[in-house]
Chains A and B, each alone.
Chain A
Amino acid sequence: KAGVTQTPRYLIKTRGQQVTLSCSPISGHRSVSWYQQTPGQGLQFLFEYFSETQRNKGNFPGRFSGRQFSNSRSEMNVSTLELGDSALYLCASSFSTDTDTQYFGPGTRLTVL
């Protein structure tokens, strides 16, 4: 089976812009979670989607949002980018929201200038 894929792999934006990142889960997986990784804060949970519904949300401002489509693919959006949003954004998929083995994609490296 193909693994989790994320696009784009690298992105450079300027402050104030918005960005959309995409994640395709492993075939058959219906749960998608998003994480942010920075050198200072480590890996932090953003949100989880299952069957097109947001199930859980981490402690991030409303500028961070996401959605999931009927084919389980997910997108996350960050509006009004700040310098501190520079990070590696990781997507993980699992078969269901009750199955804890999450499989991660390679991540999208976002740089905000």
Chain B
Amino acid sequence: DAKTTQPPSMDCAEGRAANLPCNHSTISGNEYVYWYRQIHSQGPQYIIHGLKNNETNEMASLIITEDRKSSTLILPHATLRDTAVYYCIVRASGGGADGLTFGKGTHLIIQP
């Protein structure tokens, strides 16, 4: 699986959009970009995933660049409950291999 690079931490004001970047410059054509988040000591929560098109669901939007070498997770109106560690993961379709590979993620802190 391709490796990802994320900033270790970010701050965002409550009510503003939080934009979390992820670099995955070695991504392969069959690899999806997945985002999970983990609130302290809880299980990771699935947020969204995509292959090449931008995606949106009730939680967030995922913007993937045309060359697919980077992506941005957008939380449109951040709340204090969005404070968590956010993980960007790239993973080939077809499963198998060695499970999800979690890096260190980005610790997003929402400020009141």
- Interface residue tally of chain B, by bracket? 20 to 34
- Given the interface pairs A45-B99, A45-B100, the reply to whether A103 lies near B46 with Cβ below 8 Å is yes
Chain A residue numbers with a CB within 8 Å of B32 are 100
The verdict on A81 contacting chain B, using a C-beta distance below 8 Å, is no
**Chain B 31-60: CB-based contact to A (< 8 A → 1; otherwise 0):** 010101000011111100100000000000
Enumerate chain A residues within 8 angstroms of B101, measured Cβ to Cβ.
45
Residues of chain A lying within 8 A (CB to CB) of residue B100? 33, 35, 43, 45, 92, 100, 102
Task: Collect the chain B residues with CB atoms within 8 Å of residue A107's CB.
Answer: 41-43
Interface size on A, residues (CB 8 A): 30
Are B43 and A56 touching (Cβ within 8 A)?
A: no
A104 to B42, alpha carbons, bound, how many Å?
Answer: 9
Q: When the two chains form their complex, are residues A88 and B41 in contact, meaning their CB atoms are under 8 A apart? A: yes
- Asked if A62 CB lies within 8 Å of chain B CBs, one says no
Q: How far, in Å, is B41 (CB) from chain A's closest CB?
A: 7
List residues of chain A with CB under 8 Å of any chain B CB.
4, 31, 33, 35, 42-46, 48, 55-56, 58, 88, 90, 92, 94, 96-107, 109
